[in-house]
Amino acid sequence: MQRPPAPASLPEPSRPELPRHIGIIMDGNGRWARSRHLPRAAGHRAGVATIRPVMEACNEAGVHILTLYAFSTENWSRPRHEVAALMQLFGETIDSEVDEMHAEGIQIRAIGDRSKLSDRLQRKVRAAEDLTSGNTRAILNVAINYGGRNEIVAAVRDLAARGCDLADLDNDTLAGALYTAGLPDPDLIVRTAGEMRISNFMLWQAAYAEIYITETLWPDFDARAIEGALAAYARRDRRFGAVRVEAALPAPASL
């Protein structure tokens, strides 16, 4: 199982009410393009342009780990020309962004099964990871050919291949074999375009994540939108399965 390099230590969030790690399901590129009578590829390009301001807003707010769901294992079923355009766009984005991200101290990690990517794209991904592996300002995970179920199966297979006794498998051991090994689990999952599902994204890691759904299409999602998501998160009461003491008390007797 191919995993990115181990992350360097990162600064903590600037305020305790902020998440350490945000995952974003970037949805709505096609609808954005269709509403403007543009080809779907134009929506995907507009979506790529959204990444930079969202990253900067997260860093300015003090959130230093961002995971973007760029291409799922199910996305291969899309029309061939659309998949080809997406793969070309991934390569172009690496070429145009990696040097600047490196200069800004951002570590780039690709998570997912990269074996189905072209050899050329795999080389670009590895080069971007190698170049930025020592950066400590922030981490950007790009989930490409990623599926949460596949990730868990691949992790178990990897452990078995390494001679791990699966009868003794525990949570920490499995978590250490995932693509996100060494990273804190996401505290917040954001989904754009209003869909009410997690779509096979970080199934293990998101077990206790807060979910934030917005009707905003991904290309229209901006710094103000991420600020709204962070504000909503800060208002949540995260109890991780615990029950409030007052909620467990018996109701007072009627007078």
Q: Which residues are catalytic?
A: 27, 75
- Angle (CA) 137 141 132, round 5°: 50
Q: What SS3 class is residue 212?
A: strand
Measured CA to CA in angstroms, residue 243 lies from 40, 79, 197 at distances of 46, 47, 25
Phi-psi region of 28 (alpha: psi -120 to 50; beta: other; left: phi over 0): left
Per the listing, tokens 């189905």 go with 116
Tokens of residue 27, six digits: 């949805």
- Residue that the structure tokens 């103000």 belong to: 224
